[in-house]
Protein backbone atom coordinates (compact mmCIF):
# COMPACT_ATOMS: atom_id res chain seq x y z
CA UNK A 1 0.00 0.00 0.00
CA UNK A 2 1.30 3.45 -0.92
CA UNK A 3 2.42 5.42 2.11
CA UNK A 4 0.72 8.79 2.61
CA UNK A 5 2.94 11.81 2.06
CA UNK A 6 2.99 13.95 5.19
CA UNK A 7 2.86 17.76 5.05
CA UNK A 8 6.00 19.28 6.53
CA UNK A 9 4.70 22.36 8.33
CA UNK A 10 5.09 24.38 11.51
CA UNK A 11 2.33 23.03 13.81
CA UNK A 12 1.79 26.51 15.29
CA UNK A 13 0.28 27.46 11.90
CA UNK A 14 -2.47 24.89 12.46
CA UNK A 15 -3.31 26.33 15.88
CA UNK A 16 -3.28 29.88 14.48
CA UNK A 17 -5.48 28.95 11.49
CA UNK A 18 -8.05 27.15 13.65
CA UNK A 19 -8.28 29.82 16.35
CA UNK A 20 -8.45 32.74 13.92
CA UNK A 21 -11.25 30.92 12.09
CA UNK A 22 -13.31 30.80 15.28
CA UNK A 23 -13.23 27.02 15.78
CA UNK A 24 -12.64 25.29 19.10
CA UNK A 25 -10.73 22.03 18.89
CA UNK A 26 -13.75 19.69 18.98
CA UNK A 27 -15.74 21.64 16.37
CA UNK A 28 -12.73 21.72 14.05
CA UNK A 29 -12.14 17.99 14.44
CA UNK A 30 -15.75 17.28 13.51
CA UNK A 31 -15.52 19.49 10.40
CA UNK A 32 -12.27 17.78 9.40
CA UNK A 33 -13.65 14.30 10.04
CA UNK A 34 -10.92 13.26 12.50
CA UNK A 35 -10.76 12.39 16.19
CA UNK A 36 -9.88 15.14 18.69
CA UNK A 37 -6.71 13.26 19.59
CA UNK A 38 -5.53 13.29 15.98
CA UNK A 39 -5.95 17.05 15.68
CA UNK A 40 -4.25 17.58 19.04
CA UNK A 41 -1.28 15.54 17.80
CA UNK A 42 -1.03 17.60 14.60
CA UNK A 43 -1.16 20.88 16.50
CA UNK A 44 1.42 19.66 19.04
CA UNK A 45 3.81 18.51 16.32
CA UNK A 46 3.64 14.89 17.47
CA UNK A 47 2.20 13.91 14.09
CA UNK A 48 1.64 15.59 10.73
CA UNK A 49 -1.42 15.66 8.47
CA UNK A 50 -1.23 14.33 4.95
CA UNK A 51 -1.23 16.86 2.12
CA UNK A 52 -4.87 15.99 1.39
CA UNK A 53 -5.76 16.56 5.05
CA UNK A 54 -3.88 19.85 5.08
CA UNK A 55 -5.84 20.90 1.99
CA UNK A 56 -9.09 20.17 3.84
CA UNK A 57 -7.88 22.22 6.80
CA UNK A 58 -7.12 25.18 4.52
CA UNK A 59 -10.63 24.91 3.06
CA UNK A 60 -12.27 24.61 6.50
CA UNK A 61 -10.35 27.52 8.00
CA UNK A 62 -10.77 29.63 4.84
CA UNK A 63 -7.03 30.16 4.33
CA UNK A 64 -4.92 29.72 1.18
CA UNK A 65 -3.02 26.44 1.36
CA UNK A 66 0.27 28.30 0.91
CA UNK A 67 -0.33 30.22 4.16
CA UNK A 68 -0.16 26.97 6.15
CA UNK A 69 3.38 26.42 4.81
CA UNK A 70 4.68 29.74 6.21
CA UNK A 71 7.53 29.43 8.75
CA UNK A 72 5.58 31.43 11.39
CA UNK A 73 1.95 32.50 11.85
CA UNK A 74 1.32 35.90 10.22
CA UNK A 75 0.14 38.88 12.20
CA UNK A 76 -3.65 38.92 12.46
CA UNK A 77 -5.98 41.88 12.14
CA UNK A 78 -6.97 43.87 15.20
CA UNK A 79 -9.44 41.85 17.31
CA UNK A 80 -12.98 43.10 17.89
CA UNK A 81 -14.37 44.00 21.30
CA UNK A 82 -17.53 42.04 22.11
CA UNK A 83 -20.38 44.34 23.17
CA UNK A 84 -23.02 41.62 22.89
CA UNK A 85 -24.98 40.13 25.75
CA UNK A 86 -22.92 37.52 27.54
CA UNK A 87 -24.23 34.18 28.83
CA UNK A 88 -24.28 34.75 32.59
CA UNK A 89 -21.52 37.34 32.19
CA UNK A 90 -19.15 34.65 30.91
CA UNK A 91 -16.91 34.86 27.88
CA UNK A 92 -18.79 34.74 24.58
CA UNK A 93 -17.20 33.03 21.61
CA UNK A 94 -17.18 34.38 18.06
CA UNK A 95 -18.59 31.69 15.76
CA UNK A 96 -16.65 30.70 12.62
CA UNK A 97 -19.27 32.57 10.55
CA UNK A 98 -18.83 35.81 12.53
CA UNK A 99 -15.06 35.41 12.59
CA UNK A 100 -15.05 35.01 8.81
CA UNK A 101 -17.25 38.09 8.28
CA UNK A 102 -14.90 40.16 10.45
CA UNK A 103 -11.87 38.90 8.56
CA UNK A 104 -13.44 39.56 5.16
CA UNK A 105 -14.49 43.08 6.15
CA UNK A 106 -10.99 43.92 7.39
CA UNK A 107 -9.49 42.51 4.19
CA UNK A 108 -11.83 44.67 2.09
CA UNK A 109 -10.75 47.78 3.95
CA UNK A 110 -7.09 46.88 3.46
CA UNK A 111 -7.77 46.35 -0.24
CA UNK A 112 -9.62 49.67 -0.51
CA UNK A 113 -6.61 51.45 0.98
CA UNK A 114 -4.36 49.77 -1.60
CA UNK A 115 -6.68 50.81 -4.43
CA UNK A 116 -6.63 54.41 -3.22
CA UNK A 117 -2.83 54.30 -3.05
CA UNK A 118 -2.53 52.77 -6.52
CA UNK A 119 -4.66 55.59 -7.90
CA UNK A 120 -2.60 58.25 -6.10
CA UNK A 121 -5.68 59.29 -4.07
CA UNK A 122 -6.11 59.88 -0.37
CA UNK A 123 -9.40 58.85 1.28
CA UNK A 124 -11.12 61.54 3.31
CA UNK A 125 -10.77 61.44 7.09
CA UNK A 126 -13.75 60.52 9.23
CA UNK A 127 -14.30 63.60 11.35
CA UNK A 128 -17.47 62.98 13.38
CA UNK A 129 -16.68 62.45 17.05
CA UNK A 130 -18.48 62.33 20.38
CA UNK A 131 -18.14 61.13 23.97
CA UNK A 132 -20.23 58.81 26.10
CA UNK A 133 -21.26 61.74 28.29
CA UNK A 134 -22.80 63.78 25.47
CA UNK A 135 -26.59 64.07 25.28
CA UNK A 136 -27.74 61.54 22.61
CA UNK A 137 -30.18 64.14 21.24
CA UNK A 138 -27.23 66.48 20.63
CA UNK A 139 -25.25 63.73 18.92
CA UNK A 140 -28.25 62.91 16.74
CA UNK A 141 -28.54 66.53 15.57
CA UNK A 142 -24.84 66.51 14.67
CA UNK A 143 -25.36 63.38 12.60
CA UNK A 144 -28.42 64.67 10.75
CA UNK A 145 -26.69 67.97 10.01
CA UNK A 146 -23.65 66.11 8.67
CA UNK A 147 -25.86 63.92 6.48
CA UNK A 148 -28.00 66.81 5.29
CA UNK A 149 -31.29 65.01 5.89
CA UNK A 150 -34.41 66.86 7.02
CA UNK A 151 -37.74 65.41 8.10
CA UNK A 152 -39.49 66.12 4.81
CA UNK A 153 -36.90 64.08 2.91
CA UNK A 154 -37.01 61.22 5.42
CA UNK A 155 -40.82 61.10 5.51
CA UNK A 156 -40.89 60.91 1.72
CA UNK A 157 -39.13 57.51 1.70
CA UNK A 158 -41.89 55.66 3.63
CA UNK A 159 -40.56 52.24 2.70
CA UNK A 160 -37.91 50.45 4.77
CA UNK A 161 -35.75 49.31 1.83
CA UNK A 162 -35.78 52.78 0.24
CA UNK A 163 -34.93 54.38 3.57
CA UNK A 164 -32.10 51.93 4.24
CA UNK A 165 -30.48 52.57 0.86
CA UNK A 166 -30.84 56.34 1.23
CA UNK A 167 -29.37 56.43 4.74
CA UNK A 168 -26.58 54.06 3.70
CA UNK A 169 -25.57 56.27 0.79
CA UNK A 170 -25.44 59.31 3.08
CA UNK A 171 -23.30 57.50 5.67
CA UNK A 172 -20.95 56.33 2.91
CA UNK A 173 -20.50 59.97 1.88
CA UNK A 174 -18.91 60.54 5.31
CA UNK A 175 -16.07 58.22 4.26
CA UNK A 176 -17.44 55.10 5.97
CA UNK A 177 -17.47 51.74 4.21
CA UNK A 178 -20.83 50.05 4.83
CA UNK A 179 -20.88 46.29 4.21
CA UNK A 180 -23.59 43.68 4.72
CA UNK A 181 -22.97 40.21 6.19
CA UNK A 182 -24.94 37.34 4.72
CA UNK A 183 -23.53 34.47 6.83
CA UNK A 184 -24.69 35.61 10.28
CA UNK A 185 -27.79 34.39 12.03
CA UNK A 186 -30.16 37.07 13.34
CA UNK A 187 -29.54 36.17 16.97
CA UNK A 188 -25.73 36.19 16.82
CA UNK A 189 -24.96 39.84 16.10
CA UNK A 190 -26.74 42.86 14.67
CA UNK A 191 -23.49 44.24 13.29
CA UNK A 192 -19.97 45.36 14.02
CA UNK A 193 -17.75 48.35 13.39
CA UNK A 194 -14.05 49.06 12.93
CA UNK A 195 -12.77 52.53 13.71
CA UNK A 196 -9.91 54.32 12.05
CA UNK A 197 -9.62 57.96 11.12
CA UNK A 198 -9.47 56.84 7.46
CA UNK A 199 -11.92 54.38 5.91
CA UNK A 200 -13.61 53.10 9.05
CA UNK A 201 -16.20 50.45 8.27
CA UNK A 202 -19.39 48.98 9.63
CA UNK A 203 -21.12 45.70 8.83
CA UNK A 204 -24.85 45.09 9.30
CA UNK A 205 -26.62 41.74 9.24
CA UNK A 206 -28.31 41.19 5.89
CA UNK A 207 -30.70 38.64 7.42
CA UNK A 208 -32.31 41.40 9.50
CA UNK A 209 -35.31 43.37 8.27
CA UNK A 210 -34.44 46.63 6.51
CA UNK A 211 -35.74 48.75 9.38
CA UNK A 212 -33.47 46.91 11.82
CA UNK A 213 -30.50 47.25 9.45
CA UNK A 214 -31.07 51.00 9.32
CA UNK A 215 -31.12 51.20 13.10
CA UNK A 216 -27.96 49.05 13.20
CA UNK A 217 -26.16 51.46 10.88
CA UNK A 218 -26.73 54.38 13.23
CA UNK A 219 -25.86 52.25 16.25
CA UNK A 220 -22.54 51.39 14.58
CA UNK A 221 -22.05 55.01 13.49
CA UNK A 222 -22.30 56.00 17.17
CA UNK A 223 -19.57 53.44 17.92
CA UNK A 224 -17.37 55.01 15.25
CA UNK A 225 -17.98 58.47 16.71
CA UNK A 226 -16.84 57.07 20.07
CA UNK A 227 -13.70 55.79 18.28
CA UNK A 228 -14.56 52.19 19.10
CA UNK A 229 -14.33 48.89 17.23
CA UNK A 230 -16.57 46.03 18.28
CA UNK A 231 -19.40 43.56 17.71
CA UNK A 232 -22.83 44.83 18.74
CA UNK A 233 -26.23 43.62 19.83
CA UNK A 234 -29.18 46.03 19.61
CA UNK A 235 -31.03 44.26 22.41
CA UNK A 236 -30.18 46.06 25.64
CA UNK A 237 -31.73 43.32 27.79
CA UNK A 238 -29.57 40.52 29.14
CA UNK A 239 -26.35 40.42 31.18
CA UNK A 240 -23.22 42.21 30.02
CA UNK A 241 -20.38 44.13 31.69
CA UNK A 242 -21.59 47.49 33.05
CA UNK A 243 -19.29 49.60 30.87
CA UNK A 244 -20.39 47.72 27.75
CA UNK A 245 -24.04 48.08 28.71
CA UNK A 246 -23.62 51.84 29.09
CA UNK A 247 -22.04 52.07 25.64
CA UNK A 248 -24.73 49.96 23.97
CA UNK A 249 -27.55 51.91 25.59
CA UNK A 250 -25.91 55.16 24.46
CA UNK A 251 -25.51 53.93 20.86
CA UNK A 252 -29.14 52.78 20.79
CA UNK A 253 -30.27 56.17 22.09
CA UNK A 254 -28.23 57.98 19.44
CA UNK A 255 -29.69 55.77 16.70
CA UNK A 256 -33.25 56.34 17.92
CA UNK A 257 -32.77 60.10 18.27
CA UNK A 258 -31.25 60.31 14.79
CA UNK A 259 -34.09 58.42 13.13
CA UNK A 260 -36.84 59.96 15.28
CA UNK A 261 -35.71 63.50 16.31
CA UNK A 262 -37.35 64.48 19.59
CA UNK A 263 -39.07 67.74 18.62
CA UNK A 264 -40.19 66.52 15.20
CA UNK A 265 -41.42 63.25 16.65
CA UNK A 266 -43.48 64.88 19.40
CA UNK A 267 -45.00 67.32 16.88
CA UNK A 268 -46.40 64.47 14.79
CA UNK A 269 -50.18 65.10 14.58
CA UNK A 270 -50.89 61.57 15.74
CA UNK A 271 -48.72 61.99 18.85
CA UNK A 272 -49.81 65.55 19.57
CA UNK A 273 -53.45 64.47 19.41
CA UNK A 274 -52.88 61.96 22.20
CA UNK A 275 -51.55 64.63 24.53
CA UNK A 276 -48.64 64.48 26.97
CA UNK A 277 -50.51 62.14 29.30
CA UNK A 278 -50.96 59.32 26.77
CA UNK A 279 -49.68 55.95 27.99
CA UNK A 280 -51.44 53.39 25.76
CA UNK A 281 -51.14 53.30 21.97
CA UNK A 282 -53.08 51.24 19.46
CA UNK A 283 -51.29 48.92 17.06
CA UNK A 284 -52.64 51.04 14.20
CA UNK A 285 -51.05 54.20 15.61
CA UNK A 286 -47.72 52.48 16.23
CA UNK A 287 -47.72 51.06 12.71
CA UNK A 288 -48.56 54.46 11.19
CA UNK A 289 -45.62 56.07 12.98
CA UNK A 290 -43.27 53.26 11.95
CA UNK A 291 -44.20 53.89 8.30
CA UNK A 292 -43.50 57.63 8.59
CA UNK A 293 -40.02 57.07 10.07
CA UNK A 294 -39.24 53.75 8.33
CA UNK A 295 -38.35 52.09 11.61
CA UNK A 296 -39.67 49.02 13.41
CA UNK A 297 -42.75 49.14 15.61
CA UNK A 298 -40.58 48.26 18.59
CA UNK A 299 -38.35 51.27 17.87
CA UNK A 300 -41.44 53.51 17.91
CA UNK A 301 -42.67 52.17 21.24
CA UNK A 302 -39.18 52.42 22.74
CA UNK A 303 -38.92 56.04 21.59
CA UNK A 304 -42.31 56.80 23.15
CA UNK A 305 -40.99 55.32 26.40
CA UNK A 306 -37.77 57.34 26.26
CA UNK A 307 -39.75 60.54 25.72
CA UNK A 308 -42.14 59.80 28.59
CA UNK A 309 -45.17 59.04 26.43
CA UNK A 310 -45.74 55.46 27.58
CA UNK A 311 -44.84 53.09 30.38
CA UNK A 312 -42.22 50.37 30.83
CA UNK A 313 -45.05 47.82 31.19
CA UNK A 314 -46.60 48.85 27.85
CA UNK A 315 -43.21 48.68 26.13
CA UNK A 316 -42.45 45.21 27.47
CA UNK A 317 -45.91 43.97 26.52
CA UNK A 318 -45.59 45.25 22.97
CA UNK A 319 -42.02 44.05 22.64
CA UNK A 320 -43.15 40.53 23.52
CA UNK A 321 -46.08 40.78 21.10
CA UNK A 322 -43.89 41.94 18.22
CA UNK A 323 -41.35 39.17 18.88
CA UNK A 324 -44.07 36.51 18.72
CA UNK A 325 -45.48 38.01 15.52
CA UNK A 326 -42.01 38.10 13.97
CA UNK A 327 -41.35 34.43 14.76
CA UNK A 328 -44.72 33.43 13.33
CA UNK A 329 -44.07 35.40 10.15
CA UNK A 330 -40.61 33.88 9.88
CA UNK A 331 -42.08 30.38 10.21
CA UNK A 332 -44.73 31.10 7.56
CA UNK A 333 -42.07 32.32 5.14
CA UNK A 334 -39.93 29.26 5.85
CA UNK A 335 -42.85 26.92 5.13
CA UNK A 336 -43.78 28.87 2.02
CA UNK A 337 -40.26 28.75 0.57
CA UNK A 338 -39.27 25.29 1.80
CA UNK A 339 -37.91 23.17 -1.01
CA UNK A 340 -37.97 26.06 -3.48
CA UNK A 341 -34.71 27.25 -5.03
CA UNK A 342 -33.91 30.83 -4.06
CA UNK A 343 -33.22 32.89 -7.19
CA UNK A 344 -29.98 34.87 -6.97
CA UNK A 345 -28.81 37.97 -8.77
CA UNK A 346 -25.05 37.96 -8.15
CA UNK A 347 -24.33 41.47 -9.50
CA UNK A 348 -27.03 42.96 -7.28
CA UNK A 349 -25.97 40.89 -4.25
CA UNK A 350 -22.34 41.91 -4.72
CA UNK A 351 -23.12 45.62 -4.76
CA UNK A 352 -25.51 45.19 -1.82
CA UNK A 353 -22.94 43.35 0.31
CA UNK A 354 -19.79 45.30 -0.58
CA UNK A 355 -21.35 48.74 -1.01
CA UNK A 356 -21.21 51.01 -4.04
CA UNK A 357 -18.11 53.03 -3.00
CA UNK A 358 -15.95 49.90 -2.60
CA UNK A 359 -17.22 48.18 -5.75
CA UNK A 360 -16.92 51.39 -7.76
CA UNK A 361 -13.31 51.82 -6.67
CA UNK A 362 -12.54 48.24 -7.83
CA UNK A 363 -14.24 48.71 -11.20
CA UNK A 364 -12.62 52.11 -11.80
CA UNK A 365 -9.17 50.66 -11.20
CA UNK A 366 -9.99 47.89 -13.65
CA UNK A 367 -11.08 50.39 -16.31
CA UNK A 368 -7.81 52.26 -15.80
CA UNK A 369 -5.85 49.00 -16.33
CA UNK A 370 -4.45 49.05 -12.80
CA UNK A 371 -5.92 45.63 -12.04
CA UNK A 372 -6.96 42.71 -14.24
CA UNK A 373 -10.39 41.19 -14.82
CA UNK A 374 -9.18 38.21 -12.79
CA UNK A 375 -8.33 40.61 -9.94
CA UNK A 376 -11.84 42.06 -10.05
CA UNK A 377 -13.28 38.56 -9.86
CA UNK A 378 -11.11 37.72 -6.85
CA UNK A 379 -11.65 41.01 -5.02
CA UNK A 380 -15.44 40.80 -5.34
CA UNK A 381 -15.71 37.03 -4.96
CA UNK A 382 -17.69 36.51 -8.17
CA UNK A 383 -17.15 34.76 -11.46
CA UNK A 384 -15.84 36.85 -14.34
CA UNK A 385 -19.16 36.49 -16.19
CA UNK A 386 -20.88 38.58 -13.48
CA UNK A 387 -18.60 41.62 -13.88
CA UNK A 388 -20.60 43.22 -16.75
CA UNK A 389 -23.74 42.97 -14.60
CA UNK A 390 -21.94 44.66 -11.72
CA UNK A 391 -20.81 47.45 -14.04
CA UNK A 392 -24.43 47.87 -15.12
CA UNK A 393 -25.54 48.07 -11.48
CA UNK A 394 -23.14 50.99 -11.02
CA UNK A 395 -24.07 52.72 -14.27
CA UNK A 396 -20.82 51.96 -16.11
CA UNK A 397 -22.49 50.03 -18.93
Least confident piece of the model among 18-32, 72-86, 266-280, 308-322: 72-86
Q: Can you list the positions of beta strands (E) in 56-148? A: 81-82
Region 138-160: what's the mean pLDDT?
94
C-alpha–C-alpha distance, residues 179 and 194, integer Å: 11
User: Is residue 341's pLDDT more than 70?
Assistant: yes
Instruction: Give the C-alpha distances (Å, rounded to integers) separating 98 from 25, 93, 199, 315, 332.
Output: 17, 10, 21, 31, 27
Q: Can you list the positions of beta strands (E) in the chain? A: 81-82, 177-181, 191-194, 201-205, 230-232
pLDDT computed for residue 1 by the predictor: 44
pLDDT computed for residue 397 by the predictor: 60
User: Is residue 4's pLDDT more than 80?
Assistant: no
Percent of the residues in the chain that have a pLDDT greater than 90, as a whole number: 64
pLDDT computed for residue 89 by the predictor: 45
pLDDT computed for residue 86 by the predictor: 62
Domains of the chain: which residue ranges?
Answer: 11-76, 80-259, 276-339, 343-393
pLDDT computed for residue 71 by the predictor: 84
Q: Each residue of 239-279: pLDDT tens digit?
A: 677 888 899 999 999 999 999 999 999 999 999 988 887 78
Q: What is the CATH number of domain 11-76?
A: 1.10.260.40
Contacts of 210 (CB under 8 A, 6+ apart): 160, 161, 163, 164, 294
Region 42-71: what's the mean pLDDT?
87
Q: For residue 79, what pLDDT band results from cuts at 50, 70 and 90? A: low
Amino acid sequence: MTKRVKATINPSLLVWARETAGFDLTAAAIKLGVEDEKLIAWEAGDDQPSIAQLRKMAETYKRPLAVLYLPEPPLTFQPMHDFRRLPELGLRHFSPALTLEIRFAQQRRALALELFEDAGDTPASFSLETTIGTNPETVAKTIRDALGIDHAMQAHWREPRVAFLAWRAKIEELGVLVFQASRLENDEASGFAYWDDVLPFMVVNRKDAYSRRTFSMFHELAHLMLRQSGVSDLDVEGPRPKDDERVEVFCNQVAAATLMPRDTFLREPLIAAHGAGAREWSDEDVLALSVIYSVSREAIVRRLLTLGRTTEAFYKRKRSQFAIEFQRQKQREKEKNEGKPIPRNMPRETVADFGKPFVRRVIENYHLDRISLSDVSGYLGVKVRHVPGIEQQLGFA
